[in-house]
């Protein structure tokens, strides 16, 4: 260690060993989403809005499941630092069981009340009808996605990251092929439009799950999880630790996803043009932030592993280095958004009104991306991985419901402000979290060793 910035090569080697495969995985997922929206964009604003809003329930499920696995990841990353593989297996078993119950609940809602769900987000009849059909089909991915996400996220905490890249690389080609074939009726397949996009996603998710299960049960040499590990009840000791340190993460994501749904409702009631423009912006956001999410994942794993080894001061110095890196990533993300916004919007066959809204929102996004990188890497990477999940939960949920929701509602539905202003209001939580994360990192009070007793820490 040397001063404020870590200069040892091992730190950067480990950072890039985790961040690069995760960034590539995110890039592949984004490429699928980009091609999805471009293909559906050829069918017009109704098709784009239907798939966007029809995917909101699934997005909520994914966020909740992500909270579940991220909470469990706080445990597994620190247990891996202690080389306690048996505890990791117990944590994985607990996660799979809870994830299964969650996926069934969301799937039942999607299959039994699709039009009711869509009517919450929009009052456009055409969008509701088309979106309901999309929602019913896409609901079959919930269980598959939950299993895949849980497995890959927990394997990542023990340093197994390349399998994610392989899984999503295969999924990319499967999804693109069936998207093109089923949306437009190519290669002898039926022309299904929006429903075809949903079915293509189901097929791709099935392939992903098969690959992940084969790897986990046959090829993984670190955890060696087996189906027999699912037998019996959830381990009480593991569950107690999860309740204390992991449950805040799950609650964080549940309440955040509800807040995010309210933001989608606000956008949905501003018109299908606004929803379609936001779909374009979402794809751009995902493209631009692939590096951010890669470093975010690496920060969480490195914080957890280092604290699990009992090296608390080293963890704090790593956090300071990552904080400086996050600022640079934020400004680079801003620059990329400004450079790429016009070419991206030009890909879509949309009305002049939708195009104008999209460009205005992308300009606002460029500004927000500076704060987003700092908040993501430090708040949801370092702080959450370091066990400071309660602080993250209170800050994230509080700012969502006290800032983004009321500001977005007033700006969009009461004052009818321009799209760029509305977008910044909807993202107010990100700006607040940037500064909250900075103060927390600099305080050094975020290190929480969840796997050791007080006596062991001394």
Q: What is the mean pLDDT of residues 208-233?
A: 91
Q: What is the mean pLDDT of residues 344-353?
A: 79
Where on the phi/psi map is residue 185: left (φ > 0), alpha (ψ -120 to 50), or beta? left
Given a cut of 70, whether residue 2 has pLDDT beyond it is no
What pLDDT score was predicted for residue 33? Answer: 66
- 427 in Cβ contact with 376 (< 8 Å): no
- Higher-confidence residue of 397 and 94: namely 94
- Higher-confidence residue of 34 and 227: namely 227
Retrieve residue 351's tokens: 């009305």
Note the pLDDT tens digit of each residue in 419-446.
888 889 988 999 999 999 999 998 888 8
- Higher-confidence residue of 13 and 456: namely 13
Note the pLDDT tens digit of each residue in 110-166.
999 999 988 887 888 888 888 899 999 999 999 998 899 889 988 988 888 888 888
- 267 in Cβ contact with 412 (< 8 Å): yes
Residue 116 buriedness (CB in 10 A; 0-12 / 13-18 / 19+): exposed
Given a cut of 90, whether residue 30 has pLDDT beyond it is no
- 268 in Cβ contact with 53 (< 8 Å): yes
Retrieve residue 282's tokens: 């979402």
Average pLDDT, the chain: 85
> What are the start-end ranges of the E strands in 147-200?
none
Given a cut of 80, whether residue 179 has pLDDT beyond it is yes
Q: What is the mean pLDDT of residues 369-386?
A: 90
- Higher-confidence residue of 267 and 142: namely 142
What pLDDT score was predicted for residue 215? Answer: 95
* Closest-CA residue to 201 (of 149, 137, 251): 137
What are the residues whose beta carbons fall under 8 Å from the beta carbon of 312, sequence distance 6 or more? Answer: 447, 449
Q: What percent of the chain has pLDDT over 70?
A: 95
What pLDDT score was predicted for residue 455? Answer: 46
What pLDDT score was predicted for residue 109? Answer: 95
Note the pLDDT tens digit of each residue in 403-416.
888 998 898 888 88
Given a cut of 70, whether residue 15 has pLDDT beyond it is yes
């Amino acid at each position: 260690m040397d001063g404020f910035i870590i200069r040892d090569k091992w730190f950067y080697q480990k950072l890039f060993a985790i961040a690069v495969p995760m960034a590539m995985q995110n890039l592949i997922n984004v490429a699928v989403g980009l091609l999805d929206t471009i293909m559906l964009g050829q069918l017009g604003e109704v098709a784009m809005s239907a798939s966007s809003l029809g995917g909101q329930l699934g997005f909520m499920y994914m966020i909740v499941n992500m909270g579940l696995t991220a909470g469990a990841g706080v445990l597994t990353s620190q247990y891996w630092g202690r080389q306690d593989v048996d505890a990791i297996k117990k944590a994985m078993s607990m996660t799979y069981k809870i994830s299964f119950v969650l996926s069934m609940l969301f799937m039942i809602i999607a299959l039994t009340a699709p039009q009711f769900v869509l009517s919450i987000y929009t009052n456009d009849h055409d969008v509701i009808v088309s979106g309901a059909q999309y929602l019913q089909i896409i609901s079959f991915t919930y269980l598959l996605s939950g299993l895949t996400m849980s497995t890959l996220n927990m394997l990542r905490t023990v340093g197994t990251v390349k399998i994610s890249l392989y899984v999503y690389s295969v999924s990319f080609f499967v999804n693109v092929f069936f998207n093109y074939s089923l949306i437009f009726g190519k290669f002898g397949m039926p022309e299904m439009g929006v429903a075809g996009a949903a079915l293509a996603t189901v097929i791709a998710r099935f392939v992903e799950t098969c690959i992940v299960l084969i790897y986990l049960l046959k090829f993984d040499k670190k955890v060696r999880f087996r189906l027999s590990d699912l037998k019996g009840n959830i381990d009480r000791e593991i569950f107690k630790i999860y309740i204390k340190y992991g449950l805040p993460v799950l609650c964080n994501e549940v309440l955040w996803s509800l807040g995010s749904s309210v933001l989608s409702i606000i956008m949905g009631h501003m018109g299908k043009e606004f929803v379609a423009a936001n779909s374009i912006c979402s794809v751009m956001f995902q493209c631009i932030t692939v590096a951010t999410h890669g470093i975010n994942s690496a920060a969480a794993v490195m914080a957890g592993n280092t604290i699990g080894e009992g090296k608390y001061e080293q963890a704090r110095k790593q956090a300071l280095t990552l904080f400086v890196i996050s600022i640079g990533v934020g400004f680079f993300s801003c620059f990329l958004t400004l450079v790429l916004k016009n070419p991206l919007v030009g890909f879509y066959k949309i009305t002049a009104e939708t195009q104008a809204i999209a460009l205005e929102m992308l300009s606002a996004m460029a500004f927000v991306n500076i704060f987003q990188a700092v908040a993501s890497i430090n708040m949801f990477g370092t702080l959450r991985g370091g066990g400071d999940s309660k602080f993250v939960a209170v800050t994230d949920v509080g700012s969502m419901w006290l800032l983004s929701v009321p500001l977005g509602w007033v700006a969009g539905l009461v004052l009818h402000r321009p799209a760029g202003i509305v977008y910044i209001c909807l993202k107010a939580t990100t700006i607040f979290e940037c500064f909250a994360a900075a103060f927390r990192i600099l305080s050094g009070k975020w290190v929480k060793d969840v796997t050791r007793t007080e006596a062991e820490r001394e």
